[in-house]
Amino acid sequence: MTMLTSSPTSATVNLQQLMDASNRNDHRLAQALSAMIAASAQALATQTSTNQAASAQLNTVANVPFQRFRLDSRQVAPNDVFVLLKSHTPNCQKSRDYLYQAAKNAAFILSEIDPIALFATANVPPHANIALSTDDSQSVAQQQLDSLPCPVLYVPNIRDFLGDLIQSHLQHQQPVTLPAVVAVTGTNGKTTISQLVAQLTQLTGMSSAVMGTAGNGRLGALVQASHTTGDALAVQQFLYQMGSENAELLALEASSHGLDQQRLQGMPVSVAIYTNLSRDHLDYHADMAEYAAAKARLFDKAHFPDLTHAIINIDDEHAQVMLDTAHASELTVWTYSLDASKTATFIAAKIKPSLQGVEISLHTDFGDGKINNLDIVSPLLGRFNVANLLAAMAAAVAIGAKSNVGIERIATAVAQLQGAVGRMQRVPSNDGCFIVDYAHTPDALSQVLASLKTHCKGQLWAVFGCGGDRDAGKRPLMAQAGLAGADQVILTADNPRTEDPQMILQDMQAGMSAEQYQRTHIEPARQKAIEYAVNQAAADDIVVIAGKGHETYQEINNVRYDFDDSVILQHALEHAGRV
């Protein structure tokens, strides 16, 4: 399966036609496009000395035919519209270069950045508003702008309706019925839950697809993705493609970056799931409160007007932020918990895990007077996967309500579920137990180790590292999480990116005690670290290779080398005669 890279046909359209179509369909895009043109007119009128020409330019743009939208200036072909967005770390020179490059072919340009300020400003610090310079430089900037071969519209709020705009363009070319969308946010569990939702809905009669870290597409035919949440263009094109393939349900991962940058704007999310929040991405978010606020956007009908249900893990300390947002949006709120003493819609009253899966006594109460008590056998390893399963079942019930697919039918499908690749994935061996998992945060690693410790007759081994060019403050926390949960720890490289792996490992060792050092082996080369664990682990031991999971590469100095933990582990087991 391939991703769409263009509109379904080569026919042209203009903004006025999209507005007219939106008006006929009572679509909110019409109002947004009208506001865009009005805002652009006002901005140009107050910042240029050529107001009459600016107004004429705007009137012309509304009727300029174009073929497709582009967010990458290198991909702009004749008659495309280029959308210039701010980056997380603004660079004026790069943005100017993008404008010049795109203007050679573009029908017109929609810019989130004030083009006058862009041409008049030399350097802009991250997150700062671009301020106009002197009158002289402003005049020069206006001349530069006027010299471009296509019009540039300043649309500071373009992200508020960019997704709607792209989807409206796709639908204008060839209408399709879009799938319902379930979106999952949280630090851990997004990939597993989204895939479980897709599996459960498909097993109960719907045609389903997924979009996220482990790949995009129909179940069993995923295409690897570069980001958990793609840009607005990629997301809308994929949604449209799944509609073209008659998918009825799309389960996707909503990253904090994607939510903060409004990449999911215009997605018809009807069910939103919150898993948990632990330290991650603090190289992007200022603190945990900002991180939580980004996640909470998913439960706000102002951002996702199609929302009907919020499914929230009340065992997490940040759940209240999500609950408050969901209640303010008057959503149907269902909660889930692994604590039998709590009051929740879905409760795992009893949990009996094993290395073959887990037996669950499920208690559900939807507040309608009907209480269900179901015994479920899940093939998924780990206690934390019980929470993931509850979230997925809740979403499947919410989606299936229109077709009368209830909790009983969904519960019978659980036995057929398969875990996501690289999530508590057991690699076959004659003796010992060898697991590959994506756990790359302290909390996730702690949960994986705690789940396996109760089944370990011998020693529990943990092999892991930390990524380069990311939150350095997480590194010693990862090491301590591993040492707290495992008997033996092997510290190694993850994706060092542009950092020296030795320096990352040094950061991880901060605060370690003499006793901890005695249980720690340090091997920067990840393949050697895996081979060491295979050769040292006894027949009753459990070994967890954590941090990379489904990834099939290792990134070193901006180069991605082939590296798949499960493949490396399998080869090491074969060489050691353990398979």
CA separation, residue 121 to residues 42, 96, 117, 186, 469 (Å): 21, 10, 6, 38, 28
Is 190 labelled a binding residue?
yes
Pairwise CA distance, residues 292 & 311, whole Å? 16
Helix (H) and strand (E) counts in the chain: 20, 22
301 is in an annotated binding site: no
For 310, the 3-state DSSP assignment is strand
Does the annotation list 458 as a binding residue? no
Looking at 162-234, which runs of residues are DSSP E strands?
180-185, 208-212, 215-218
163 annotated to a ligand binding site:
no
Any known ligand binding at 552?
no
State yes or no: 325 annotated in a binding site: no
Q: For 254-370, list the strands marked E by DSSP.
A: 269-274, 309-313, 332-337, 346-354, 357-365
- The reply to whether 369 sits in an annotated binding site is no
Q: Is 101 annotated as a binding residue?
A: no
Is 426 known as a binding-site position? no
Is 171 annotated for ligand binding? no
**How many angstroms separate the CA atoms of 371 and 392, rounded?**
19
Q: Check the annotation: does 330 bind a ligand.
A: no
Q: Is 341 annotated as a binding residue?
A: no
Is 551 marked as a binding-site residue? yes
Is 71 labelled as part of a ligand binding site?
A: yes
Q: Is 217 annotated as a binding residue?
A: no
Residue 470 assigned as binding residue: yes
Instruction: Tell me 345's DSSP state.
Output: S
Separation of alpha carbons 112 and 88, rounded Å: 13
Annotate 536-568 with DSSP letters as a single string.
H--TT-EEEEES-TT--EEEETTEEEE--HHHH
Query: What residues contact 42, with CB distance under 8 A and at least 6 apart?
Result: none
- Is 112 within any annotated ligand binding site? no
Question: What is the rounded end-to-end Cα distance, in angstroms, of the chain?
Answer: 34
Residue 230, marked binder: no
Pairing of strands 460-464, 371-378: unpaired
Task: Specify the amino acid at residue 571.
Answer: H
Nearest Cα neighbor of 392 from 349, 321, 336, 308 is 336
Would you say 188 is a known binding-site residue?
yes
Was 189 annotated as part of a binding site?
yes
547 known member of a binding site: yes
CA 536/CA 538 separation, integer angstroms: 6
Residues 521, 530 contacting (CB under 8 angstroms): no
- Going by the annotation, the residues of the binding site for ATP are 186-192
- Going by the annotation, the residues of the binding site for meso-2,6-diaminopimelate are 470, 494-497, 547, 551
- Going by the annotation, the residues of the binding site are 71, 73, 186-192, 228-229, 255, 261, 263, 470, 494-497, 547, 551
